[in-house]
Amino acid sequence: MKTRITRACQCSAAFAAAGLLLSACGSSGADGSGQTGATSFEGRGPITFVSGKDTTGTRQPLIDRWNKEHPKEKVTLIQLPSDADTQRQQMIQNAETKSDAYTVLYLDVVWTSEFAAHRWIDPLPGKQFPLDRMLKPVLETAKYRDGLYAVPSSSDGGMLYYRTDLLKKAGITQPPGTWAEMKSACAEVKKLPDAKDMSCYAGQFQKYEGLTVNFSEAVNSAGGTVTDGSGKPDVDTADAKKGLDFLVDSFKDGTIPKEAITYQEEESRQAFQAGKLIFLRNWPYVYSLAGKSEIAGKFAVAPLPGLDGPGSSSLGGHNLALSSFAKNKATALDFMKFYTSEETSRYFLKEAALAPAYAAFYDDKALVEQYPYLPVLKESILRAVPRPRVVQYGDVTASLQQEAYAALTGSKSSAQALKDLQKDLQQKSAAQ
């Protein structure tokens, strides 16, 4: 993966002073209070909307609706590959060449600082969006130095998908709350003739952003941290090792199948739907797709398990940001309002099980009845741990991926991997 520390900012960063904190460089020009800074939202006409692959098939129909109502301001959907790292690289390439090919970006929540600090995205007029109705931690992901640089579209929280039919058959009445309970549930389920060839558990372990997510979740779910409260790397600890060891040992003892080292979200979803897995860690979008698959009616979700009790998810999701180099920004702003509205959010919840940013959806009785996973999802998002909010995110995630992968594939012991990761993160801090 391409790393970059390059010209993020020509100023001293908190990354150096306090660890992997949000870099305090540049002036934001946005305060989230309705001041738009230097951005002028002018120009109307065609624009593009750039996102990863739409695995849910729900984006184009919504855009078609917009296009019908705005024939002179049509939106073209540009779909990038489904893995987050490639999306990031392509969006950065577009920004570095100051191309106007991309207008509105479907930005992963972990890229806000990097894109804002480089001024690849514009500060936004917060007062024009109903931000006060959104979940607080979700809204935080759209800010850089208190300025608003993006608007939450969908949040994401990891959940444990499990086969209700098999657990029931094996006489297990509750989903597991800990890793040990999950392993013993698997041992029971695998005694059933129709489950004997199944694997117990998988997440996403290919060397990409999903591994950063799964590694961080394991560490956090064992009581460890990647960075401490002030942003300093603090990953070479006994607790973090317990988390990483859960993954390493699970690969060794077959709890996690070997092929899961190649899994991204989609491969792991397909394995679960094909009846190869009893438990799966994945995002809410799987709820909708699995609900239309062979295992429809045979699965449910629970909070992620941890070492001694419930685990914690990494906070995921996507926000809409406006490329600084785009044309027709007046159209773009209107499209962003449309795409992040409550009505659109309801559409994505219903059609694709995407996690709304709006708080009220999670407590709406009728919706909860229809979508029983909403309370688990809300809990997952509110308890979620953000990944480091740093300008040099590409470098940080590359280190996490490298060391976690080395441990999972056995080329390093987990102790060595955590030691090297700590050193690497510290060096990256000092180099700023």
Contact set with ligand GLC (CB under 6 A): 84, 108-110, 156, 209-210, 213, 265, 283, 316-318
Q: Report in angstroms how near the CB of residue 212 gets to ligand GLC at its nearest.
A: 7
Q: Nearest distance from residue 206's CB to ligand GLC, in Å? A: 9
CB of 356 to ligand GLC, least distance (A): 13
**To the nearest whole angstrom, how small is the minimum distance from the Cβ of residue 208 to ligand GLC?**
7
Which residues are CB-contacts of 7 (< 8 A; sequence separation ≥ 6)?
118
Q: Which is nearer to ligand GLC, 227 or 328 (CB)?
A: 227
Give the contacts of 197 (CB within 8 A, at least 6 positions apart).
Answer: none
Place of tokens 């030691």: 419
Could you give the CA distance from residue 255 to residue 82 in angstroms, rounded to a whole number? 27
CB of 382 to ligand GLC, least distance (A): 16
Nearer to ligand GLC, 215 or 362 (CB): 215
Are residues 49 and 78 in contact, defined by beta-carbon separation less than 8 angstroms?
yes
> Tokens 């407590």 belong to which residue?
363
Between 55 and 341, name the residue whose CB sits nearer to ligand GLC. 55
Task: Report angle CA 56, 142, 213 to the nearest 5 degrees.
Answer: 60
What is the DSSP secondary-structure string of 376-393? Answer: HHHHHHHHPBPPP--TTH
For the record, the structure tokens of 267 come out as 């491969």
Task: Closer to ligand GLC by CB, 134 or 213: give it.
Answer: 213
Using DSSP bridges, classify how beta strands 104-108 and 47-52 pair: parallel, antiparallel or unpaired. parallel
Separation CA 145–CA 116 (nearest Å): 9
**Shortest Å distance, C-beta 413 to ligand GLC:** 26
What b/e string do you get for 142-181 counting C-beta neighbours within 10 Å, with b at 16 or more?
bbbbebbbbbbbbbbbbbbbbbbbbbeebebeebbbbbee
d(CA 344, CA 377): 19
Tokens found for residue 215: 């590694």
Shortest CB 108 distance to ligand GLC, Å = 5
Min separation Cβ 85 and ligand GLC, Å? 9
Q: Please, which residue, 36 or 206, has the CB nearer to ligand GLC? A: 206
Q: Which is nearer to ligand GLC, 36 or 204 (CB)?
A: 204
Residue 30 or 84: the one with the smaller Cβ distance to ligand GLC is 84
What angle do helix axes 393-408 and 238-252 make, rounded to 10 degrees? 50
The residue among 40 and 262 lying less far from ligand GLC, judged by its C-beta, is 262
> Smallest distance from the beta carbon of 180 to ligand GLC, in angstroms?
27
Half-sphere exposure of residue 184: CA atoms within 13 angstroms, side-chain side: 9
Closer Cβ to ligand GLC, 397 or 414, answer by number: 397
